[in-house]
Structure 1
């Protein structure tokens, strides 16, 4: 019996060691497009109760982590394990980051419309109760995050609110 327990523990430890991977940063070039990000006052999303704009240094790696993976699911590409992406989102949403990542369970694929990319994730078994939408304007290297907790929406924007088309909203 002691050998079975010892063997089981050894297998668990071996599994834990094998499953750990070293993160590899993604390399890319910086976009030089100059389409302006526009601020809007109207929204078809739940009522906004708080808005935060943060000055976050841009990282070219974030562009490829999102733009090179259109159609893929954030979980499948381990998006939140991408160090440059995670640091950028963490700086943007601050203390909300851990809860947001924890509740990014049920997700949709990365979709885009005219250089604006959308990621969506929500809490398993409570999707309308906790939902996160991320929009990335690849032409202006601008990231927006919107967290909806029971219809109380908090928006975070790096360089201003990204105008999202109805076509992208419906994807």
Structure 2
């Protein structure tokens, strides 16, 4: 009986050791002329362009969360919980983000016109007093935010102001 228990324990320990074996690292090594940047969770970026891309939120994800959800409400798709989208908006509006996020209660669905997408939200019980419009130009991967506080409009633009059609403004 002792041999069976010892053998079973040996197999369990051996199985745990084998299953915990790390996968071989398939990432290429860093060349001597490349600056390696250590990011959170010990990920290594091996080129200058990669480090810029790694530091910035994924634009592909931003495109997809907006363009693939046209007609849906931001709350239904948990838009502001999407890390890539939220990081870009935070970076764009800075200190205004918390108030904008808190006041994005009454919202309309995502709408578009000719590749430009619009999201609109405003403060509950004070909709004209605090309103936010977010525009996304999918062709140029450009995000704009317009915050209206009692008629005083503040515009934020990533890569320049997006030209918005009257049809889209009125949607």
TM-score > 0.5, shorter chain as reference: yes
Q: CA RMSD in A?
A: 1.1
DSSP 3-state at the match of 1:94: helix
Q: Distance in 2 between matches of 1:132 and 1:160?
A: 18
Other-structure match for 2:46: none
Q: Distance in 1 between matches of 2:122 and 2:107?
A: 6
> If the length of structure 1 is used for normalisation, what is the TM-score?
0.66
> 1:143 Cα deviation (Å)?
0.2
Other-structure match for 2:75: 75
Other-structure match for 2:109: 109
Other-structure match for 2:165: 165
> If the length of structure 2 is used for normalisation, what is the TM-score?
0.66
> 1:57 Cα deviation (Å)?
6.5
Contact in 2 for aligned 1:130/1:148 (Cα 8 Å): yes
1:119 and 2:115 correspond: no
Q: Distance in 2 between matches of 1:111 and 1:168?
A: 8
Contact in 1 for aligned 2:120/2:134 (Cα 8 Å): yes
Moved over 2 A (4+): none
> 1:170 Cα deviation (Å)?
1.1
DSSP 3-state at the match of 2:120: strand
1:146 and 2:146 correspond: yes
Q: Deviations over 1:66-111 (max 9, x none)?
A: 0000000000000000000000000000000010000000000000
DSSP 3-state at the match of 1:84: helix
DSSP 3-state at the match of 2:126: coil
Answer with 1 or 2: which has the greater Rg: 2
Question: Any stretches of 5+ residues in structure 1 without a counterpart?
Answer: 1-55
- Larger RCO: 1 or 2 (CA < 8 Å, sep 6+): 1
